Amino acid sequence: MAEKLLSLNKRHLKRISSSLAGIACLILIFFLLITVVLYPTTRRVLRLRHLIAKTQEENQQIKTKIENIKKAEAQFPNYQTLITSALEKLPNEPRPLNLTHQLVDTAAKNALSLDTVRYFPSQLNRKEKQFPSSLSELLFTVDGSGSYSNIKSYLKDLEKGERKIVIRSLVLKKEESSANLGFEIQGSAFWQKSAPSL
């Protein structure tokens, strides 16, 4: 009787161990399925969702730009004429001497002391063909000193002056020996190359 019970327990243990081995195999297959198939697929899905969100964001930015362009065109229906008119008023050579007079005279009018005026030739970035091929730029740097309010009015007067000037940067520095500020202004003046005569 004891032997029968022992043999029954052994058989029962074998069944249990084979069942446990089967369950362990199923768990192993399940984890392999997750790591080999589902995990990469999930990563791809998440990557695609990210790309879709990014594309939607870029599309929204493009729509906003288009709307802004339409608003600008509605606000300035004759912008092409304005641009053409502005280009026609530009000098047909760099004329650094005239520009120097404008910079120096405007500084004197605003009670500023100028130390140096320097010029640098420049090439306009025409990647997007936003500038006509005849348009050229003359970069300049002006160093000097004066009060903050005078420097401010100098910049305003330069931008309203006879020669069209764009201020690119302004650096202010405190002068130790006086209440004035030292300044360095970098800007651009434009001119238009005339077409060669035949």
Phi-psi map region of 146: left, alpha, beta (phi>0 left; psi -120 to 50 alpha): left
pTM of the model: 0.54
What angle in degrees, to the nearest 10, is found between the helix axes of 96-109 and 148-160? 140
Provide the pLDDT confidence category of residue 150 given band limits of 50, 70 and 90.
Answer: very high
Phi-psi map region of 95: left, alpha, beta (phi>0 left; psi -120 to 50 alpha): left
Alpha-carbon gap, residue 114 to 99, rounded angstroms: 14
For residue 114, the 8-state DSSP code is E
- In the structure encoding, which two tokens stand for residue 85, read together? 């008119």
Mean pLDDT over all residues of the chain?
A: 81
Cβ contacts of 189 within 8 Å, gap of 6 or more: 94, 99, 137, 138, 140, 163, 164, 165, 166
Are 168 and 186 contacting, i.e. CB atoms less than 8 angstroms apart?
yes
Provide mean pLDDT across the span 118-134: 64
Query: So what's the pLDDT on residue 73?
Result: 79
Alpha-carbon gap, residue 192 to 86, rounded angstroms: 11
The percent of residues above 70 in pLDDT, for the chain, comes to: 81
Does the domain spanning 91-192 belong to CATH 3.10.110.10?
no
Kindly tell me if the per-residue pLDDT of 128 is higher than 50.
no
Provide the pLDDT confidence category of residue 47 given band limits of 50, 70 and 90.
Answer: confident
The residues spanned by each domain of the chain are 1-77, 91-192
